[in-house]
Amino acid sequence: MKKQFAIIGLGRFGTSICKELYHLGHEVLAIDKNQKKLDEVKGFATHTLNVDGTDESALQKVGIRNFEHVIVAIGEDIQASILCTLHLKDLDVRKVWAKAQNDYHHKVLEKIGADRIFHPEKDMGNRIAEFLTSEKVIDY
Ligand code: ATP
């Protein structure tokens, strides 16, 4: 079933989610405040929008609350990530998933109601360690 996703922040993490969801046939709105990043995903997103994720009224104007899932993939600018997540929750977005830079960032995102929080490098590191120690890996 086709779903609607919005991704805010098109770094490596946001871009790979965007491309994969689009490839799987979902509707994907890609948002970034940097036009260059948006140009790079044209052809891999249903729509692209140059919007600052910290601007609540701009998020409201684009109808962000109509998207079932919104992924906040802003990384380095922790303040922007927190503010954006807060606006999305205030605008009643049903599922807000956010990327955390560190444990403090995680705690704040949790407090303000992020529905799921990722630590891409840490999560992938754990998965690789699990995979390497699983019995399915043949030692050769
Ligand atoms: P990655 O590791 O996934 O490459 P990162 O953790 O280094 O990313 P950033 O490069 O800081 O994260 O941010 C990812 C994207 O988010 C960038 O394309 C940046 O332009 C965008 N971004 C940052 N702040 C905002 C904002 N307030 N509104 C919209 N987009 C933003």
Per-residue pLDDT of the chain (140 residues; tens, 9 = 90+): 899 999 999 999 999 999 999 999 999 999 999 999 999 999 999 999 999 999 999 999 999 999 999 999 998 999 999 999 999 999 999 999 999 999 999 999 999 999 999 998 888 999 999 988 887 666 65
CA distance 68 to 10: 19
Q: Let me know: does 101 contact 76? Beta carbons within 8 Å.
A: yes
Residues in Cβ contact with 101 at an 8 Å cutoff, skipping those fewer than 6 apart: 75, 76, 78, 81
**Tens digit of each residue's pLDDT (9 = 90 or more) over 10-20:** 999 999 999 99
- What ipTM was estimated for this complex? 0.94
Indicate which residue's Cα is closest to atom 21 of ligand 1.
Answer: 9
Expressed in angstroms and rounded, the spacing between residue 101 Cα and the centre of ligand 1 is: 12
